[in-house]
Structure 1
Amino acid sequence: MPRLVFLVPAHDEELMIAGCVRSLLAMAYPQTHRRVVVIADNCSDATARLAKEHGAECFERFDADQAGKPRAIAWALSLIDLRQWDACVIVDADSVVAPTFALGVAALAPLNDIVFQPNNDVLNEFDNWLTRLGALLGRCRFKVTYPLKQSARLNCPISNGMGIGTNLLIRHGWLSFSITEDTELYAIYTERGVTIRHAAAATVFSQEAGSLRQGATQRRRWLAGRLRIIRDWGPRLLRSNNIGWRQKLDAFVELGLSGPVLHLAMTAFTVAAAVWSVGGKLGWWIAGFATGSLTGLVVTTFIAIARHPQPVRTLASFFMLPVYAVWRLMVVLRTVSTLGDTTWRRTSRTPQPVAMASPMAGQPR
């Protein structure tokens, strides 16, 4: 059975850290084969104390000049003897894992030389139309698209809950220090020909932004980071001798993916412009090509809805798609206009009961 070390980077997460730690310690997995470490990074609240009280190890770090999640992870990894472990799993502090999470990860063994990504699900799916839409988009990716990628032997993008084999960490160290370290790691490992697998039997739960204002904070950061990664890693992916053209094309699609709803909005705009401004046979060809680009999106969405336990409630949120599409477009425009701003901004959160996580219901101190 693989030996897993779980790292939880946390900056002033006293509202959420207890639930995260409890879920990790409650996993159905031998205690001798797991280690849970919270990285309290420049915390000014009770994060470290609560992490210890609930049973986790806690590495406390105070370094204002080298603040941030990626640097905190790199620092913590330097304090762990990675030779004693098979993989390192990184879980966001505002998340909880399913009781079978570690077993789902173990199903991919051996883990030492691969990267893997579990399913991401939403704790507060039915709070409002925005959280329902966010949860549906997640289902499209994790329950439909990622299994298809796995079958096609294409790398899966990584995010919350990602795991990295310790042989990779020992050989290369921690490789990303950007504001979107998960997307950058996807580009780096893909360019190097490292396999990134989908851990379909493992699930981590987190909160979806409950308002457009909260969501804008997240998406501006993600999009800004993604644009920089395309700029920095796009040429390297094209030149890579470690991957074939199928993986190169898929990586470019993933890195350039702006989101399905924005894709829908841009398609509608392109069709209208082609028909009314270009006109003639060329205009209709452009409109047809743009419409055809939606085929995969439509199919995956219908599959995700058909498999959803409450499809009617999810479909009701579609009435707000025009509002969502306009908002996403505004976020993109705002992001492009402020690409020089790399300031990290916190997204507000609300504590959630750990029970909802079930699919069924310096020096360290």
Structure 2
Amino acid sequence: MLIWAVWLLAVPPIFVLLIFTAEALLGTLRLKPVAVSGPLPSTCILIPAHNEASIILDTLERLRPLLSNDIRLLVVADNCSDETARLVRQAGQPVIERLDPDKRGKGYALAFGREHLRSSPPDCVIVFDADCETDTVSIAALAKYCVGTQSVVQARYILSPDCDASAKVQISNFAFWFKNVVRQRGASRLGGAAVLTGTGMAFPWLKFEQAPLATANIVEDLALGLYFTQIKDAPVYLEEATVVSAAASEAATLEQRSRWEHGFLSTAKSHGLRAIFEGLTQPNRKLFQLGLHLLVPPLALLLLASIAILLLLGAIGLLTGYWFAFAALAATIAAALSLVLVNWMIEGRAWLSLGALLRLPLYLFWKLPVYLGFARGRDVGWTRTARRGDGTETMPGD
């Protein structure tokens, strides 16, 4: 009975670590380029914007060279209390305003924009956050691949490298890259669905038209990806297209990760095992693999939980002399950490300096309040993420 109890403790983290290790191993190298050809389809870059007056003009200026007869822009000024809408009009770009304080969130803004587009729908809609930047090649690749395959497509979404930032921000940015690039590659090579990340998402109009957008879900992108995978229209990851966002301050980083990770954990809790079951019974391989992906918690939580169980197994081993479960879990933790290190050496050093990497144990403790808040059921609702230099971030100690 004791051996059974020990393995009941060890098997869940071993299983989850093996999923993570498989994705990390298969995501080590870049994907083989896909052929993106054909005429440029009519495309609308849809930008949901909430109180973005401090940055919206810079964003529009960066996007201006990308616009043409085939590529238009629409900004949804959603529940804004600043000059966002006026500044967009001043820049000569179309903007619609939405005011409904009881229905706040990106999903509602996207649904409002969709209603506006119905009178003259484009072939492709690209959802783009107000703090991001991209290039002509990426937009063209997204639009052509999206319409050519009639698939929902996710671009490579990364944060700007900043090795002058604090160790906490660097590690968080590295984890963001690992999730959005390395694990996306791994899932793609396994034949699984791409995980939608909220920006750089391209939709064929017919799929965008039917998508369940009007929701306050704080991870509406993850929920959308799950929806399309369930109906066997799984999103595709396109590494040839890149979208970049500026890193947030340390305080804003913790707030942003709290919001996203609480939403991810809630979605994983309610849909992870169900997706695996439905994927097996339908059958739907991509849904099954997405369910496996959802079982893997954020990297910091994965390491914290695995190490805590390893220490418990070590204590049991000292009392009983039974070390097999301890050795199995230790080996899987070592394999996962080794692949994190390999990926860091190949590409990850752009986001994470060696000095910051050595502070990883401190980062794990920094993230504890995020997970304790989730365990206590503390609600983290939708809020605008403060960005560096926009005059709205809350700095540590403020």
Q: TM class, shorter-chain normalised?
A: 0.7 to 0.9
For 2:341 and 2:204, locate their aligned partners in 1 and report how far apart those are by CA, in whole Å: 32
1:231-261 C-alpha deviation (Å, 9 max, x unpaired): 4434652225786475344323332332223
The CA deviation at 1:124 is 5.3
> 108, 119, 129: which one pairs with 1:71?
108
Q: Specify the SS of the correspondent of 1:32.
A: coil
For 1:244 and 1:24, locate their aligned partners in 2 and report how far apart those are by CA, in whole Å: 42
- Structure 1: state its 5+ residue gaps: 353-365
For 2:375 and 2:89, locate their aligned partners in 1 and report how far apart those are by CA, in whole Å: 42
> Is 1:302 the counterpart of 2:342 in the alignment?
yes
> Is 1:37 the counterpart of 2:77 in the alignment?
no
Q: CA contact under 8 A between 2:134 and 2:242: conserved in structure 1?
A: yes
- Structure 2: state its 5+ residue gaps: 1-39, 391-398
Distance 1:90 1:251, change over 3 A: same
For 1:262 and 1:203, locate their aligned partners in 2 and report how far apart those are by CA, in whole Å: 27
Q: CA contact under 8 A between 2:279 and 2:286: conserved in structure 1?
A: no
> 85, 88, 108: which one pairs with 2:125?
88
Q: CA contact under 8 A between 2:146 and 2:152: conserved in structure 1?
A: no
Q: Specify the SS of the correspondent of 1:5.
A: strand
Distance 1:99 1:309, change over 3 A: farther
Matches within 5 A, 1:215-234: 215-234=253-272
Aligned to 1:264: 303
- Normalising to structure 1: TM-score of the pair? 0.84
Task: Decide which moves more: 30-39 or 290-299.
Answer: 290-299
Matches within 5 A, 1:93-108: 93-106=130-143, 108=145
> Is 1:137 the counterpart of 2:175 in the alignment?
yes
Distance 1:222 1:308, change over 3 A: closer
- Normalising to structure 2: TM-score of the pair? 0.78
> 232, 238, 241: which one pairs with 1:199?
238
Task: Decide which moves more: 195-204 or 133-142.
Answer: 133-142
Aligned AA for 1:302?
Answer: V
The CA deviation at 1:351 is 3.8
Task: Decide which moves more: 239-248 or 177-186.
Answer: 239-248
Matches within 5 A, 1:110-189: 110-111=147-148, 113-123=150-160, 125-126=162-163, 127-159=165-197, 160-172=199-211, 174=213, 176-189=215-228
Q: Specify the SS of the correspondent of 2:129.
A: coil
Q: CA contact under 8 A between 1:20 and 1:97: conserved in structure 2?
A: no
Aligned residues: 347
Aligned to 2:9: none
> 48, 54, 79: which one pairs with 2:91?
54
Q: Specify the SS of the correspondent of 1:89.
A: strand
> 311, 314, 325: which one pairs with 1:285?
325
The CA deviation at 1:207 is 2.5
For 1:173 and 1:330, locate their aligned partners in 2 and report how far apart those are by CA, in whole Å: 32
Distance 1:82 1:327, change over 3 A: farther
For 2:283 and 2:334, locate their aligned partners in 1 and report how far apart those are by CA, in whole Å: 25
For 1:122 and 1:157, locate their aligned partners in 2 and report how far apart those are by CA, in whole Å: 17
Distance 1:346 1:177, change over 3 A: closer
For 1:203 and 1:176, locate their aligned partners in 2 and report how far apart those are by CA, in whole Å: 27
For 2:212 and 2:224, locate their aligned partners in 1 and report how far apart those are by CA, in whole Å: 12
> 333, 346, 358: which one pairs with 2:384?
346
Q: CA contact under 8 A between 1:144 and 1:300: conserved in structure 2?
A: no
Q: CA contact under 8 A between 1:120 and 1:138: conserved in structure 2?
A: no
The CA deviation at 1:83 is 6.7
The CA deviation at 1:6 is 1.0
The CA deviation at 1:296 is 4.5
Aligned to 2:32: none
Distance 1:242 1:116, change over 3 A: farther
1:9-42 C-alpha deviation (Å, 9 max, x unpaired): 1111111212222222223xx6121111110011
